[in-house]
């Protein structure tokens, strides 16, 4: 399995993975728009990586500028948000490889910390978020979501 930057030809395969995790049509549209923004190389768009094996897209991870509601949890001056992580098959190591690639990429880009939010509705993923030295740092209710936990990893 390789982890590489998202390409235009990956978009449909990635969008087929998203509904496994999210059902809100507004959020699914936001994700699609963010993919398009990245593929069009728009300024300040999120950055995305995919995992691929035998020409099949198995997962995606992305990061972007940190939202206001997460800034209170930042311990450093240059944090970024782990915006999305989704895999086709759970418990196969795909998510861990994607998360490690994201950490490596943001560190190389000069960011000093990764923060992520996961709502109560995704509680089953919380033990995964505890991996790779991510630490739970608090709870928050974002403007457009339900109460959830926040994780941080200082790089």
Give every CB contact of residue 78 below 8 A, 6+ residues apart in sequence.
110, 111, 112, 113
DSSP classification of residue 92: S
Bridge-partner residues for 50, per DSSP?
A: 4, 60
Is residue 131 pLDDT above 90, yes or no? Answer: no
Q: Are the C-beta atoms of residues 73 and 17 closer than 8 Å to each other? A: no
CATH classification at residue 81: 3.40.630.30
**Whole-angstrom Cα distance, residue 13 to residue 18?**
9
CB neighbour class for 33 (10 Å; exposed up to 12, middle 13-18, buried from 19): exposed
Number of domains observed in the structure of the chain: 1
Tell me the pLDDT tens digit for each residue of 12-60.
999 999 999 999 999 999 999 999 999 999 988 999 999 999 999 999 9
**23 is in which domain, residue-wise?**
2-154
Question: Using CA of residue 69, residue 73, residue 78, residue 80, what is the dihedral sign?
Answer: negative
* Angle, alpha carbons 120-122-128 (nearest 5°): 115
**Whole-angstrom Cα distance, residue 89 to residue 124?**
14
Tell me the pLDDT tens digit for each residue of 74-125.
999 999 999 999 999 989 999 999 999 999 999 999 999 999 999 999 999 9
Q: Can you give the pTM of this predicted structure?
A: 0.94
Bridge-partner residues for 85, per DSSP?
A: 61
**Whole-angstrom Cα distance, residue 67 to residue 73?**
11
pLDDT (mean) for 121-146 = 92
Count CB atoms within 10 A of the CB of residue 23.
Answer: 10
Alpha helices, DSSP H, located in 40-80: 68-71
């Amino acid at each position: 399995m390789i982890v590489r930057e998202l390409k235009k030809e990956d978009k449909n395969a990635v969008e087929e993975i998203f509904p496994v995790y999210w059902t809100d049509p507004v959020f699914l549209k936001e994700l699609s728009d963010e993919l398009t923004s990245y593929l069009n190389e728009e300024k300040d768009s999120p950055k995305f990586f995919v995992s691929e094996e035998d020409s099949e897209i198995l997962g995606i991870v992305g990061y972007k500028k940190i939202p206001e509601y997460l800034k209170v949890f930042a311990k450093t001056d240059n944090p970024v948000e782990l915006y999305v992580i989704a895999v086709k098959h759970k418990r196969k190591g795909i998510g861990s490889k994607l998360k490690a690639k994201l950490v490596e990429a943001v560190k190389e880009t000069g960011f000093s910390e990764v923060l992520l939010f996961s709502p109560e509705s995704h509680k089953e993923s919380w033990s995964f978020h505890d991996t790779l030295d991510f630490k739970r740092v608090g709870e928050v209710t974002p403007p457009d979501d339900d109460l959830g936990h926040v994780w941080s990893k200082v790089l």
